[in-house]
Amino acid sequence: MTLTTTSPLVEKTRINSIDLMRGIVMVIMALDHVRDFFHADANVFDPTNLEKTNPVLFFTRWITHFCAPTFVMLSGVAIRISEQRKTKKELSLFLLTRGLWLLVIEAIVMRFSFFFNFYYDFSFLQVIFAIGASMIVLAALVHLPYKVIAAIGIILLLGHNAFDGHRLLPEDAGFVWWTILNQAGFIQIDPQHALIAAYPLLPWLSIMLLGYIVGGMYRSSFDSDARRKYLMITGVSFIALFILLRYYNIYGDPAHWSPQKNFIFSVMSFVNTTKYPVSLVYTLMTIGPVLVILSWMERADLSWLKPLNVFGRVPLFYYILHFYLIHSVSLIAYMITYDKSFAEVDLHFNVSFGGIPFGVGYSLGVVYLVWISIVTFLYPLCVWYNNYKSTHKHWWLSYL
């Protein structure tokens, strides 16, 4: 079935199910970032640490695991769809320039939003880096035959965990590059500067390439009933493979699960898969349900969720704004609550996180209240920007 402006999937040449799914994960993503800045235990212990966490805190963190893989996968889907209106050369150039632009955004715009300083004593390589670097690689790969690209994606997806036991130490040759490519970890550049490569390239590139494969089902020449069927089959297969690999601790995640003190903690152990670096089992656990939901969205009446489409249509705009807003509001709240001024706060990373001293914060209930407030505040701004993008054709709009 050819997608047209009268199809239930399409509105003004956009695919609503993809916008909606992206919008849903963007909203959920904000919950984790609000928790980072507002929760009292955010910088004290990992919320997935079964020895210290509780079920509410654990699943508050766990549900946000779906966000980054979904967003990266849908980026790959969008790239595949865009092949219908761009030549290989045009697409390759766009991916290269947009990828480089995202690296600049990660290094400057996003880094400042985390720390509110330009010391560059400490920096992150996070999801924007992973997307940007993956686009740069894909800028070269798009010139290859589709089957070759698909094969590379599948090999990376299934094979990158084969190197779990090959961990380099800081004194080893190639440590920095291996950490950025596959290992993840802390890179001490010099006594005053450090870097965390939280999103190493190869595992996330495999997820973008997976999206590129799935994107073939969204091309205008692909039948909608067949798309719904294949999305469901693929999603269920991913879930089944996740359960199999995880239950027997066969392969695909360096952190094995084990029975715990009660049923709920055993479930928590089972789904507590590795994100840094993202594992095969983690990918199967998150992408599988997303593909099933995308299949279901093909025929479901989701008009009541239409407002979430707006966030999915302006994801980078929302992503940048929400970090700045969360960080600013948190600093104001802490200065009021703890009677602190900017002059009294050391912004260096080894003393605080973006001006927030370690160990201060609020309850999880406050986190949820702030999360809802942040998303509500951002909605009209995203509506305005979406309307602007829809009615203007400036070249730079495709980069933000």
Backbone angles phi, psi at 398, to 5 degrees: -75, -5
What is the pLDDT at residue 344? 52
Helices (H) and strands (E) in the chain, counts: 15, 7
Write out pLDDT tens, residues 172-181. 999 999 999 9
- The confidence score (pLDDT) of residue 342 equals 44
pLDDT at 180: 96
Contacts of residue 172, Cβ cutoff 8 Å, sequence gap at least 6: none
CB distance 35 to 60 below 8 Å: yes
Bridge partners of residue 190, in order along the sequence: 193
d(CA 96, CA 192): 32
Backbone φ and ψ for 92, nearest 5 degrees, come out as -60, -45
How does pLDDT run across 220-234, given as a tens digit for each residue? 889 999 999 999 999
Neighbouring CB atoms inside 10 A of 178's CB total 19
Tokens 């209240």 belong to 369
Q: Which residues pair with 187 in a beta bridge?
A: 195
From CA 158, how far away is CA 202, in angstroms rounded? 11
**What is the predicted pLDDT for the residue at 2?**
35
Q: Apex CA 216: angle with CA 239 and CA 9, to 5°?
A: 85
pTM of the model: 0.92
Query: Which residues of the chain register pLDDT less than 70?
Result: 1-13, 339-352
